[in-house]
A and B are shown apart, each in its own frame.
Chain A
Amino acid sequence: MHDGGQPIDLAMLVEEHYALVYRYACRLSGSACEAEDLTQQAFLTAQRKLDQLREPERAKGWLCAIVRNAYLKELRDGNGHAAVSLDRVAEPADTENAPIDREELQAALNELPEEFRTPLILFYFEEFTYREIAERMETPVGTVMSRLARAKSHLRERLAMREPATAELPPGRTESA
């Protein structure tokens, strides 16, 4: 039950957010099949924990956090992606860009370590601010900024199909990938 005293309706929660949750799960896992499982798991968990959601306006972030937790469990069970190192990142990509191929986009996402992929997806979905991403990932905002900058750079570089012109990160903003 949330602060307004009215119970949050699970059916409405599903109705309003299932497509977003599925899309997010799909981009996170890179698999439609896994995305369906994650979506179903997320709403089953939401059903059990519904009383912990007190503010309906936070439902989206709450559900995405559940999806991410479920996905991290999957990763630990050995279903993880091979991730590239982002210790060195590209300079801003060439401005002349080819149209984006959806499969290539997903392949580029799959290459990223999860802690870079998650904020990137949330950012491009335009559903979350940096602070919300930081809150959901339990990570300082500065770390989210840094990871996003590197992940965006990787993505642009990868989609621009050009050889990375690598450069060291500025001092104080490095972190292990």
Chain B
Amino acid sequence: METMLIKGNEALAEGAVRGGCRFYAGYPITPQSEILEWMAWRQPEVDGTFIQGESEIASVNMTFAARALGARALTSTSGPGFSLYQEGIAYWVSAGMPAVVACVQRFGIGDGFIGAGQDNYWQAVKGGGNGDYHLITLAPNSVQENMDMAYESFELAEKWMHPVLILSDATIGQMVEPCSVPPMKEYDMDQPWACKGVAPGEDHKVITDITYFEDLDEWNAGYIKKMRKIMDEEQRWESIEVEDADVVLVAYGISSRVGEGAVREARKQGIKLGLIRPITLWPYPRKAFAEIPDTCKGLVTIEMSMMGQMREDVIIASKSKFPTYAIATAQRVAAVDQVIDFARKVISGEAEEEEVF
């Protein structure tokens, strides 16, 4: 397999192209503009379409239109751009459009900052737009995973006819790592569900809120059944030394790499740390929490938010069986020592368990 030394954002773009993406629309916003810039030359090279939309609102709806006509379509953004996407993404969901969006998280509220953050978690994982939905949310923690997740994202979205979100962050997006590059996939955009012009004697397709053309109660029941099935079948995670851990760290994305470092270092010091790394944030990998030993003294999220946003999912996943804490590092990436120090306090009983926000 071909290897590239490549930036995370570019790996995400190239992974999507190799996964059959033939449409990209987006609007420049730091720290993800390399995705847009890569697509600007790469899409024409593969006979795809690149559009720099006049806004995020235009871009997300261009992506809807392209996907509705059958093309594997990606868009990407960050921070306030992701907020502007939410209406459009809700339309993708209601129409059952298997489009893919990448959010390369930056820290802050409103305009915020251009550096890394993980404080889009609630917006990304809890819905974001109006109505009952979660996006299938993948959380890469390396350049390789940026590429691999983008590569498989369309098949995952098409499997469920439901949008996929790749929730990356500025650190993963900006770092350069060696990356194995998968082969090009071909995709036939003349899918049975796609709009391609009504054929003689056939009924037209209308790509809209599906319930306009189906019985609402029946559709609702089928949708909930599908969402439950996704919850059951698509949970993904990585567990490191959880089976005998006194403290289990829970972290995704860039923070999970610190978490892994902390587990290795703490074990050298005789401190039994473990790590659960959610790879899907929805469905949240609740199954991973079943293997935590009863003797565990606490679960600690490491996340670049102020409010410890993921902690509430840890409480749900662990059914409140253990005390929970958050190392909420806001705009900074956590340090290994900081994590080990906190874990010591959990073991000694000095750490104070705060209420969730």
A and B interact physically = no
Which A residues contact B (CB, under 8 angstroms)? none
Which B residues contact A (CB, under 8 angstroms)? none
